[in-house]
Every structure is written in structure tokens, then in C-alpha cells.
Amino acid sequence: MNGKKGFHKLLRRAAALSVVAWTVGLTCGCAYQKEYNTVLKQGTVEQKYDFAVRAYDKQDYKKSINLFEELLPFFRGKDAVEGLLFNLAYSYFYDKDYYMASHYFRALARQFPNGEYVERATYMSAYCKTLESPDYRLDQTATQEAIKQLQLYINYYPDSRRADEVARLIAEMRQKLATKAFHIAKMYYRRNLYNAAGICYRNFLKDYPESPDRAEAMYLMIRSHYLYAKNSVASMQAERYRRVLDDYELFMRVYADSQYREDVEKLVAESRKHI
């Protein structure tokens, strides 16, 4: 019986301590928020900077962003702006606003080309663009910018310890562009727009020689050209069937052992009959 009473007593004490801790945390949180509001409205430049650094250290990135952004005009042209830009860029990065993070990392690298953060800032600007890169079905401006900036980083720092990682990111971004290009070509094909499909497949083969979809793309290019010729007016058919034969020569040099060979040879035989 005494043991049970002692256990319940311990439970009540633990609950009381938990309430005290919650109350203290709430009080501290309120005091912190109150201090932030005061500093934001009435604080000096030094007070705002000190609080911004504290907020950054506490991983309260929205507050550090607000204060660093407000302080930026006061630091322009001064050496201290390098550290401020560094902290501001990382605040945006940790807050998952990769567009703004990339912007400030790039600004840091450009304003301080001989600074201590230039290599890291150049990499982070490009890396943020890879994180900003959307699904392949959406606009790929950020993906193209990521490739451009990653390549720029490698050009500047070919011996960097990040070289392998950058090469991997470039390959990943290029594959996303290739996937988009391949699906655009297939969309034209499915809509019976065979001339447009053939052009898109040809551009795909030229732009993405490393793609694993090349054999299928070449097969669908030949098929697009065949169907375009078949559905053309009689006076244009012979010329357009010849394009199928031209594509066939390239196909046999590169993909003679592929699963598409039998279908391609049937298309070529039909094209020869019409020519």
C-alpha cells in the first residue's frame, strides 16, 4: 500500500515539475518575442544585429531574415556586409526559401570574389537552384540555371572536393531536362503530329547523347517520319519516305541489336515500296 502511495506521489511531483517547466518555457518564449518586437521597432543597428545573430543561433530563421534584411542597407560598402550576407543566405536556405538563398549566395560570391566564403557561396547558389528545380512536367528555367551555375563552379574550382557531387547534380539535372524533352516528343506523337514529333526526337538525340532512352527515341523518330510520309499528299511522299531510309542507316550503325530492329526494318521495307 505504501509503495502505491509513493508511486502516486512521484507521479504528482513529475506532473508539477512538467507544469513548472512549461510555464517557464512559455514565459521565456513570451519574453523573447517581446524583446524581438521591441528591437524590431526601436532597436539600434547594433541591437538588431545582435538579436538577428541570436535568432539565427536559435534556428528562428524568419526573425533573423527580417532583421538581416532590414540591416542590409546600413552595411553596404562595409566589410561587415560579407558576414551579414553569409548569415542572410543561410537563413533563407534553412527556411527552405531556395530562390532567395540562391540570390544572396550569388550576391555574396560576386561582391567578394576574394572573400573567405566565395567558393562555398558559389556552390551553394548552384545547389539551391537544384533544390528549386521542379518536377519535369513544369517549367525548367531553374533546372537550366542550376546546370549553368554548377558548370561555372567546376570551371572555377576543377580540383574542388565537391567535384564529384557537382558532376552528379549536373547529370541529375540533365536527366530531368531529357525526360521532359522525351515526353514532349511523345505527346506530339500521340496527337498524330508526326512531323513535330520527328523534329523533337531528333533534337532529343542531339541534345542528350547520354540518355538511356536514345534507342526508343530513334525508333519513334523513324516511325514518326514514316507516318508523316504516309499521311502526306502523294507528291511529297517519296521525299519524306527517303528520310526514313536515311534514319535507318544511323539506326543500324548504333542500335542494330536493339529490340526495335524488327519494327524498324518493316517500316523501311514499306518506305522502299512507296519510293
The answer to whether position 87 is within a domain reads: no
- pLDDT digits over 188-210, tens only? 999 999 999 999 999 999 999 99
What single-letter DSSP state applies at residue 97?
Answer: -
Instruction: Compute the mean pLDDT over every residue in the chain, rounded to the nearest whole number.
Output: 89
The number of folded domains in the chain is 1
Read off the C-alpha cell for 257.
Answer: 541489336
Give the domain range for residue 250.
192-275
In this prediction, residue 75 carries a pLDDT of: 87
C-beta separation of 122 from 157 below 8 A:
yes
Q: Is pLDDT of 175 > 80?
A: yes
Q: Look at residue 52 and tell me if it is in a domain.
A: no
Is residue 90 within 8 Å of 67, Cβ to Cβ?
A: no
Place of cell 533534337: 203
Residue 272 lies in a domain: yes
On whether residue 130 sits in a domain, the answer given is no
Asked if the structure places residue 157 within a domain, the reply is no
Residue of higher predicted confidence among 127 and 25: 127
pLDDT of residue 35: 85
pLDDT above 80 (res 104): yes
pLDDT given for residue 15 in this prediction: 45
Q: Which three cell numbers stand for residue 244?
A: 526514313
Residue 198 belongs to some domain of the structure: yes
